[in-house]
Amino acid sequence: MIKKIGFIWGLTIAILFVNIWVYTFKPVSHELLLILSNVFPVICSFIAVITLYLVFASLKSLDETKAAWLMLFIGTLLHFLGETTYGYYEVIAGLEDPFPSLADGFWLSGYLFLYGGIAYLIIGFRRAGFALGSWKEFTSIAVLTGIIFCLVTLELFIPVIKSQEVSSLEKFLNIAYPIGDLVLIFLIFILMHFTALLGKGVFSKPWKYIVAGYVFMSVGDILFSYYTWLEIYKLGSYIDLWRNAGYLLIAMGAVCQRKVIRSL
Amino acid sequence: MANPLAVKIESFLSPLLGEMMAHSTVMIQCKKIGTIADELKPEDLPKLAERIEKALIIFVGSEKARKTAEAIKSLR
């Protein structure tokens, strides 16, 4: 099993290394860069989907834990379908900037399952009767999320709402994504707090990767929304790396979780 | 915590939950079964193991939590 963790680490580093190398030096044509920038997220999300499914399958009884991992699996599967559909539109159908599209339907519905999965883990931790930390720590989480929310509102929500250049559907989607990410960040901060309480215990390891993965994904998403809104997002932007790294961290969390389950 | 049984359980849980959480789990779950960690007796173990089993479900699922609880019961 240690070999499997080593393998997923190696795979993560290799994919991100190639990704960074291609984006930094751009040693390929514009067409190939377009293909690669669509293929990287499909590969990364696919790895996350497979590893999350393996965790789901390794849990025998249908309980809140299995439900949590099932929801994380479905949410990530929908994001994989979003990445694949978007890639199809851009690379095969040749559509430039396919927004809004069916891919948005997959991505946005995926959030609901991710919320469900993370909420199950939080509720399960609360029900378990562990020490939850002080109200000061929860206040800090609320304040930190509030600050991020204010920044996103000032820099993105207000300009989007005021804009008269885009359709109502585009306005809705431009606001729905960051809101989806902010809710995810709030839930992830709570899970991060619980994970910190677990210290160096082996049960905390998978959660640490999962938390890091969703933080990377959410930050990448918010930056993507901001950059595309300002129309300064370019093909082969480093912003894509956040999301790709997020998927791979989630995959590492899933591999770790399976290792923990099988070790008992 | 001076009770050797409570210390044993805490040592068993520490690699899984981390030292701090293992300590607080033993304290909290003992309280929930109507005792305190320093007065824990071997006859309290089944009840305590059952409580800890419920607490561990979220990390590893019911089946593995049950297995872990069985191991705790055998710590007498």
The residues spanned by each domain of chain B are 4-73
**Residue A50 clears pLDDT 70, i.e. is over it:** yes
Q: What is the pLDDT of residues A138-165, one digit of tens each?
A: 899 899 999 999 999 998 899 998 888 8
Per-residue confidence at A99, pLDDT binned at 50, 70, 90? confident
Spatial separation of the C-alpha atoms in residues B22 and A165, rounded to whole Å: 57
pLDDT at A234 over 80: yes
CB hemisphere CA count around A21 (13 angstroms): 7
Domain A2-263: assigned CATH number? 1.20.1070
pLDDT above 60: residue A2 = no
Whether B69 and B56 have beta carbons less than 8 Å apart is answered as yes
Tokens representing A86?
A: 């978007």
Residue A96 is given by DSSP the state S
Q: What confidence score (pLDDT) does residue B55 get? A: 92
CB contact (8 A) between residue A65 and residue B62: yes
For A66, the closest chain B residue by CA position comes to B61
Q: Give pLDDT, residue A149.
A: 92
**Chain B nearest C-alpha distance from A190 (Å):** 15
Give the number of beta-carbon pairs within 8 Å between A and B.
85
Residues 6+ apart with CB under 8 A from B64: A261, A264, B56
Nearest to A60 among B14, B22, B61 (CB): B61
**Smallest Cα–Cα separation from A180: which of A88, A251, A106, A234?**
A106
Place A3 in a pLDDT band, splitting at 50, 70 and 90: low
The model's confidence at residue B1, banded by pLDDT at 50, 70 and 90, is low
Beta carbons of A63 and B57 less than 8 Å apart: yes
Residue A195, burial from CB neighbour count under 10 angstroms (0-12, 13-18, 19+): buried
Tell me: the pLDDT tens digits for A191-227?
A: 999 988 888 889 999 999 999 999 999 999 999 989 9
Which residue of chain B comes nearest to A258, CA vs CA? B60
**Identity of the residue in A197, A199, A203 whose CB atom sits nearest the CB atom of B59:** A203
For residue A200, the model assigns a pLDDT of: 86
Residue A264 confidence class, pLDDT cut points 50, 70, 90: confident
Res. A4: pLDDT tops 70: no
The closest CB to that of A199, out of B20, B55, B68, belongs to: B20
Measured between CA atoms, the residue of chain A closest to residue B30 is A129
Chain A residues touching B68 at Cβ < 8 A:
264
User: Nearest CA of chain A to the CA of B38: how many Å?
Assistant: 19
Complex ipTM? 0.89
Mean pLDDT of B7-21: 93
The position carrying tokens 């709030």 is A186
Nearest by CB: A264 against B25, B28, B68? B68
Q: What angle, rounded to 10 degrees, do the helices at A168-197 and A204-229 form?
A: 150
Task: Find, in chain B, the residue whose alpha carbon is nearest to that of A201.
Answer: B18
Is B56 in Cβ contact with A128 (below 8 Å)? yes
When the pLDDT of each residue in chain A is averaged and rounded to a whole number, the result is 92
Residue A114, sorted as left (phi over 0), alpha (psi -120 to 50) or beta, turns out to be alpha
Place of tokens 């300002």: A230
N- to C-terminal Cα separation, chain A: 13
Domain parsing of chain A, residue ranges: 2-263
Classify B1 as helix, strand or coil: coil
Q: What is the pLDDT of residues A126-136, one digit of tens each?
A: 888 887 888 88
Write down the pLDDT at residue A164: 86
DSSP labels, A45-74: HHHHHHHHHHHHHH--S-SHHHHHHHHHHH
Chain B residues whose CB is inside 8 A of the A60 CB are 61-63
Amino acid, res. A62: L
Chain B positions touching A199 (Cβ under 8 A) are: 18-21
CB distance A223 to A242 below 8 Å: yes
Smallest Cβ distance to B16: which of A60, A127, A202? A202
Q: Do residues A217 and A183 make contact, with C-beta atoms less than 8 angstroms apart?
A: no
φ and ψ at A178, to 5 degrees?
Answer: -60, -35
For residue B13, what is the nearest residue in chain A, using CA coordinates?
A201
The answer to whether residues B50 and B69 touch, using CB atoms and an 8 Å cutoff, is: yes
